[in-house]
Amino acid sequence: MKKRDLGVDVSFPSAGRVRIEGERLFADPKDDGFGDLVGRLFDLAEVQAVTIDHAKAKAEVAYEPNGREEAVMRQRIARAVRARGDGNGDGREPALSSLCGTFRRDRRPLSIYRQGEALTSWQVKHEIPGRIRFKNEILHQKKDLCQSIERELLDTLGVDNFSTNPLTCSVLVYYNPCQITREKILMILDAALAKVDKPSEKYAFDADFAASSTAVLVSAVGQYAVPALLPVGIGLLLYASVPTYKGAYNVVFKERRVGVDILDAIVITSCLLGGQIFVGTIMSWCLALGRKLLKKTKDDSRKMLLTAFSKRPRFVWIYKDGVETEVPMDSVGKDDTIVVRTGELIPVDGIVS
């Protein structure tokens, strides 16, 4: 195949770091050239992480000299960078291909890390036995990505509990080391990202609770110290009371019944008409806190139910040609022989022999 000139410049800003720049290589996120470049870099055992920023047409490589002379290490990395690719390096292995696909979709700076023998976009921020926190910048304000991760972890055997945070781009996982390893959790997380074709839904900030909390502070100062702030407190109270009035409207005109939302709306209206703005904001804040706690309780209950009844193994042992090999559950095919040991769940329907 025809070799391409990738047109890259290599510099060494500090010990253990290499900067790669090239408009032709990084300008188009659909170009397979950078995938070939990443593959060649990770062929070097000393390379620990590669961060790609297509917007600035550059990448940075973090490596460990591992006792070698710095000059020798630089020469090895420079040769790997300047080697001409055929454009098919993206297909070196499924993991690298999936990571490059994530980079293409999101168009944000993407970091790829070496975690043991695996390549992953997840960074391990903190780890103790049975508890590990991962971080991935691609999660920033991506509600659909967090939901995809939660769906994958909910029914994973060995994962006891977890939480996702799209604001800090982190996933906290509590797991049983006897049932699942860190490497397997990383595979599940990367698979969850790959299942979302076009992450677009952003994380919804809880403006309701924030407005209610601000209204309490402003109305207190306005009613008892600085009267000029009172109109601001009234506006915040009205904004924070919108969910309450919506609930009262739905109860009366759609459900045609009497509910607690009607009483809440009456109390807040009475406070507004009577000039008791601070009391009204306290009422509104309590209602917002109740809605927040109710939502969290529902989410936690759903997780507990699925944890109790829906756990299934994500990796199984296949017996083939006299050798037992552990593979992902999704790769099990017809007529495969699965090894199930004492105390383990039978993961698929089949004939027990």
pLDDT of 29 strictly over 70? no
234 and 151 both lie in a single domain:
no
304 vs 113 pLDDT, higher one = 113
Amino acid at 346: I
Amino acid at 347: P
Residue 26 near residue 54, CB atoms below 8 Å? yes
Place of tokens 């508890």: 131
Count CB neighbours of 69 within 10 A. 9
93 vs 302 pLDDT, higher one = 302
Place of tokens 């994973």: 156
In this prediction, residue 171 has a pLDDT band, given cuts at 50, 70 and 90, of very high
pLDDT of 186 strictly over 80? yes
pLDDT of 72 strictly over 90? no
Count CB neighbours of 307 within 10 A. 17
* pLDDT tens per residue across span 85-128: 544 444 444 455 555 555 555 556 778 888 877 788 888 899 99
Distance separating alpha carbons of residues 278 and 181, to the nearest angstrom? 53
Domain boundary among 119, 137, 156: 119
* H runs (alpha helix) in the chain: 23-26, 33-42, 70-82, 94-106, 143-154, 182-194, 207-224, 230-240, 242-249, 260-274, 277-309
Q: Tell me, yes or no, whether 235 lies in a domain.
A: yes
Residue 99 near residue 115, CB atoms below 8 Å? no
163 and 132 both lie in a single domain:
yes
Distance separating alpha carbons of residues 314 and 27, to the nearest angstrom? 38
**What pLDDT does residue 1 have?**
34
What are 110's strand-pairing partners? 52
pLDDT of 216 strictly over 50? yes
Count CB neighbours of 199 within 10 A. 19
92 and 41 both lie in a single domain:
yes
Distance separating alpha carbons of residues 328 and 185, to the nearest angstrom? 11
Domain boundary among 93, 119, 145: 119
The CA-atom distances, in angstroms, between 58 and each of 22, 26, 161, 281, 300 are 6, 7, 38, 51, 42
Residues 6+ apart with CB under 8 A from 257: 251
Structural domain range at position 145: 124-194
15 and 110 both lie in a single domain:
yes
Residue 268 near residue 283, CB atoms below 8 Å? yes
Q: Tell me, yes or no, whether 201 lies in a domain.
A: no
Domain boundary among 194, 222, 245: 194
Instruction: Specify the DSSP class assigned to residue 27.
Output: S
- Count of domains for the chain: 4
Picking from 131, 112, 120, 119, the residue whose alpha carbon sits closest to that of residue 174 is 131
SS3 (DSSP) at 103: helix
Describe the strand order of the beta sheet including 323-328 as a list of residue ranges: 323-328, 315-320, 337-339
Side-chain-side CA neighbours of 207 within 13 Å: the count stands at 9
* pLDDT tens per residue across span 223-279: 888 888 888 888 888 888 888 889 888 888 888 888 888 888 899 899 888 888 888
112 and 140 both lie in a single domain:
no
155 and 249 both lie in a single domain:
no
330 and 294 both lie in a single domain:
no
292 vs 94 pLDDT, higher one = 292
**What pLDDT does residue 134 have?**
93
* Average pLDDT of the chain, as a whole number: 77
134 and 110 both lie in a single domain:
no
In this prediction, residue 34 has a pLDDT band, given cuts at 50, 70 and 90, of low
Q: Tell me, yes or no, whether 4 lies in a domain.
A: no
